[in-house]
Amino acid sequence: MLLNSHPRLLACVGFGLLLASGAHAQQYQPTATGLRLNTDSLTVELQFYAPDIVRVLKFPKGHEVAKKSLAVVLTPAPGKLKYATRNGFISLSSASTEARLDAKTGQVSFFTAKGQPLVQEPARGSRFTAKTDLGQPTYRVQQLFQLAPGEAVYGLGQHQDGHLNYRGQKLTLKQGNMSIAVPVLHSSKGYGVFWDNYSTTKFEDNAQATTFDSEIGDCADYYVLNGGGTADGVVARYRSLTGQAPMFPRWTLGFWQSKERYKGQEELISVVKKYRSLGVPLDGIVQDWQYWGEDNDLWNSTEFGNPRFPKPQRMVDEVHQLHAHQIISVWPSFGKKTKLYQELAAKDMLFDFITWPRTPHVKVYDAFDPEARDIYWKYLNKNIFSLGMDGWWLDATEPDQLTPFDTDDDNETALGSFRRVRNAYPLMTTSGVAEHQRQTNPDKRVFILTRSAFAGQQRQGTMVWSGDVNSRWDVLAKQVPAALSLSLAGFPYWNSDIGGFFPSGEYPKGVKDPAFQELYTRWQQFAAFTPMMRSHGEFTPREIYQFGERGTWAFDSQEKYINLRYRLLPYLYSNMWQVTHNAGTLLRALPMDFPQDPKVADLSSEYLFGPAFLVRPVTEAQYVTRPDKNTPVPASFSQTKSTEVYLPAGASWVDFWTGQRQTGGQTVQRATPIDLMPLYVRAGSVLPLGPRQQYTGEKDGAPLEIRVYPGANGEFTLYEDENDNYNYKKGAYATITMRWNDKARQLTFGDRTGSFPGMQAARTFRVIVVDEQHGTGLGEDNAPAKEVKYSGKKTTVKL
């Protein structure tokens, strides 16, 4: 295959050169979206995709290249552009963004419409080193930027290094089990840069420059996202460019139980029944691998060949009858006896690198080939989706490679070498499943849990998890900045294995070790304030009843946070709508909301969960100490420990558990008994809470508790729809905006906007103003409340 002639790579379109400019006879031409310039050595194109989104393309002069982005979906609509030349520079301006191009060197600088600098290239900002790839000429491409002193930069995907601010850091952007490469740089100045390259890329920031250094590229290709000075603006521009995140089904927000692995359908069903008998809420159960059988030559057949799964249709049906949902593990690799392997091999659509399981040699399919994606879905649909399975666990979508040799990247894909496109593999394989499911059943929302991601993948209904992380306290601490970095790169949905995937090395006694129980309990508290609350791991069972009976500390703490999760469902689902409708962000690094507070610029131990909650996970052991890992000792609660919490400046904060109000801009020591994670609510928040329930939707007609946290004005928009279809895209949803006037102490429920089939025409709200006696913690029954009967019309209540 000739790489540069492949139709999927066509994009950098050439233009005739019309104007001469300057003594060096550099030439540029206005185009429909910007301009094209020839310097002595480079061709440069500026393309305005929107007034605040600008693409820069560069390639060596005389080497016309063609490339189509795999990530970008936006059709360019630049609006009115203004051209000017002065002192050897060409200025190209939209209503919000100015790009200045050095006519001699091709150096580009970006400014706001008011002339405030955003980001600029240094001299020789784009560098090309000739090389060959599968015998075809190409380049190693380096793109350099100059950042301002004190400017913080975030994003770049998910990495387990504990960093939030990547100034002064080095990072390899290469998909791996626990590393997610998303080359989106998010600046504290309110702009972003998306480096649109799919090969292994080294990022480095030092005193000289900030560099993206990619192994393969026919041109330098990046987008500047002018967020209008705000972090939310940067995320909104990224989503506009690469695709909006659709709504997940509401049931995905409940509690999920999983492990490696349920060895038969009766075991899986018994877990759901046990939760129901205990009265502990549960919405999801996950089936991991080997439902196809234990012969790895049958690896990932997608068929229920294991005799312990004799009636998969009955399994799915019984889970549904218990008011739960199920997803199932599927991989991109196949054993040689599977029908998938044989059909793909006959069409030369399998790679030959080593992946897990190593023996026998299973092979990964070419997800860059649309026909291969069709074949993959054919089997998923026939063997799994047709049963009524609710969603997908697409494991190892990096895909995982067990040998580090460069020859692995010599595998040829439909788009050239694997080396050229490797980081985009998770985007392509998840896209194939998502798009085919929508075609097969347009009414059921796509839900994909997956281990890796690339730019644009948020548009495919994917929930990313942090990989097979170890069960250690330092790893738990690193989950927070890992999640926030991915969120700042534009991905709204993330979670991690509660307790870590690998406890065996640290906790050989497993769930019977109080030390593991403490780690798991704290991890679960954190998980309750992430987009998906999911228990999973190998070696030791971790269903709630494995930790003891009700009345024991590990059981009771876990049940407390599962119940809290379910009470938060109206808040969570409404925030999911903000993600979809307004390019919102649920996991919010503190610099997003408090950019003027220098103390939060690199604070990686706390975050906001939606607009209301300040979350400070406990990430160190406090109550269990061990002389060694083989000697479990009981937990000691004789002395209550504490955790340091910084309350950001610019707001007042109310302790969720006590109602105590404190001013921002200070560090406090918060007592942290084993069942308490520090949670603070921003003053002015209007917080809707639902009833306790065993599964989402069980008590949709029950009154909602509306907690008001006084101290500032505020508002919240409650969102409701049919919960598991795409009718919301056609306008089938309803919103109620609640506004709190702090001075007047009035809460106003605005007119309901919209409607949907099955909507409750009348609602009951129980309104509570939170103080140190009322509306704290989980207690929903004892606080005095003002009852409001709401029929869809504007209603104001004085409190």
Catalytic residues: 395, 398, 468
Residue type present at position 52: D
Residues in CB range of 72: below 8 A, 6 or more apart:
49, 196, 223, 241, 242, 456
| Structure-token pair, residue 210 | 């900030």
| Structure-token pair, residue 105 | 């060197």
Residues in CB range of 405: below 8 A, 6 or more apart:
none
Report how far residue 471's alpha carbon sits from residue 498's, in angstroms, rounded to the nearest whole number. Answer: 9
Report how far residue 755's alpha carbon sits from residue 728's, in angstroms, rounded to the nearest whole number. Answer: 10
Report how far residue 285's alpha carbon sits from residue 724's, in angstroms, rounded to the nearest whole number. Answer: 17
- Which residues on neighbouring strands pair with residue 705, listed in sequence order? 689, 766
Residue with token string 């939209």? 94
Neighbouring CB atoms inside 10 A of 357's CB total: 15
- Going by C-alpha positions, the residue among 465, 306, 488 that lies closest to residue 393 is 465
Residue with token string 């020859």? 407
User: H or E segment at 43?
Assistant: strand 42-50
- ∠ Cα 768 773 777 (to 5°): 70
User: H or E segment at 224?
Assistant: strand 220-226
Rounded to the nearest 10 degrees, how much is the dihedral formed by the CA atoms of 603, 606, 608, 612?
A: -120
- Which residues on neighbouring strands pair with residue 265, listed in sequence order? none
User: H or E segment at 273?
Assistant: helix 265-278
Compute CA 513 distance to the chain's CA centroid, rounded to the nearest angstrom.
32
User: H or E segment at 576?
Assistant: helix 569-582
Residues in CB range of 164: below 8 A, 6 or more apart:
154, 481, 484, 485, 589, 602, 603, 604
Decide: 118 and 191 in contact? Cβ < 8 Å: yes
Decide: 194 and 241 in contact? Cβ < 8 Å: yes
- Angle, nearest 10°, between helix axes 553-567 and 514-527? 10
Residues in CB range of 328: below 8 A, 6 or more apart:
286, 287, 291, 384, 389, 392, 393
Report how far residue 362's alpha carbon sits from residue 350's, in angstroms, rounded to the nearest whole number. Answer: 10
Neighbouring CB atoms inside 10 A of 172's CB total: 14
- Which residues on neighbouring strands pair with residue 671, listed in sequence order? 642
Residue type present at position 685: S
Decide: 369 and 349 in contact? Cβ < 8 Å: yes
Residue type present at position 455: A
Report the SS3 class of residue 597.
Answer: coil
Decide: 447 and 465 in contact? Cβ < 8 Å: no
